[in-house]
Chain A
Amino acid sequence: EAGVAQSPRYKIIEKRQSVAFWCNPISGHATLYWYQQILGQGPKLLIQFQNNGVVDDSQLPKDRFSAERLKGVDSTLKIQPAKLEDSAVYLCASSLVGSGTKTQYFGPGTRLLVL
């Protein structure tokens, strides 16, 4: 079974530029998550989708971050404009609906450096 796919793996941009990350979850997983992991910290949830609907985006900086999952499968996370403090690893995860275990499976992440 294929795991969670993410691209690109690395991205370097200058502040005020825009950037987009892509995620394809495990087949059949209806729930998709985007996390931000700053160096030395644990992952922090940015947004959670159930199919193509948003379940939780309370910690998403909506003035610069946006995410969509139009067809309920793959998802895109965008930052516009980027700030220095956005330098982090952006992780995508997915899980089964109604599994009761809440186990999330993570992709390899996209490492973003904002200069």
Chain B
Amino acid sequence: DQQVKQNSPSLSVQEGRISILNCDYTNSMFDYFLWYKKYPAEGPTFLISISSIKDKNEDGRFTVFLNKSAKHLSLHIVPSQPGDSAVYFCAASAQSNTGKLIFGQGTTLQVKP
């Protein structure tokens, strides 16, 4: 039972364009969502998060959108840069469940110069 799904294993975009990474979840108890970025041979690095009381959170080039009715969130990167090439993981947690994170499978983003 995969509660957090990233249905696109990979995404390729041109430098300077927008990258949109998607994530779907099934558990309506999730109230906090995070995006992590992972480079090869390194641990995941926290990127941006959003609480379920919001529908948008922005940090520089990164914006996360949350659509609770659709149980869907997305990460927008504008403009995309070659250094953004990495694996991106969506994760979710529920306040009532010790706060443990449930991760999606990840999406590999390649930004071409």
B-contacting residues of A (Cβ < 8 Å)?
4, 6, 33, 40-45, 48, 55-56, 91, 93, 95, 101-109, 111
With CB as the reference atom, state the residue of chain A lying closest to B36: A106
Contact residue among B6, B32, B93, B103 (Cβ-Cβ distance under 8 Å from A43): B103
Complex Cα gap A104–B103 (Å): 12
Q: Does B80 contact A (CB under 8 A)?
A: no
Chain A residues with CB under 8 Å of B100's CB are 33, 45, 48, 56
14 pairs, A vs B, C-beta closer than 8 Å = A6-B43, A41-B106, A42-B6, A42-B91, A44-B103, A45-B100, A45-B101, A56-B98, A93-B43, A102-B34, A103-B34, A103-B49, A106-B36, A107-B43
Shortest CB distance A43–B (Å): 5
**Number of residue pairs spanning A and B whose beta carbons lie under 8 angstroms apart:** 56
Q: Does B42 contact A (CB under 8 A)?
A: yes
Assess the B99–A102 pair: CB atoms within 8 A: yes
Complex Cα gap A109–B6 (Å): 22
Q: A33-B100, A42-B89, A102-B32 are in contact. Are A109 and B43 (CB under 8 A)?
A: yes
Assess the A42–B42 pair: CB atoms within 8 A: no
Contact residue among A40, A48, A102, A106 (Cβ-Cβ distance under 8 Å from B43): A106
| Residue interface mask B57-89, A partner, CB < 8 A = 1 | 000000000000000000000000000000001
With CB as the reference atom, state the residue of chain B lying closest to A10: B41
Chain A residues with CB under 8 Å of B91's CB are 42
CB interface residues, B 11-57, toward A, < 8 Å:
32, 34, 36, 41-46, 49
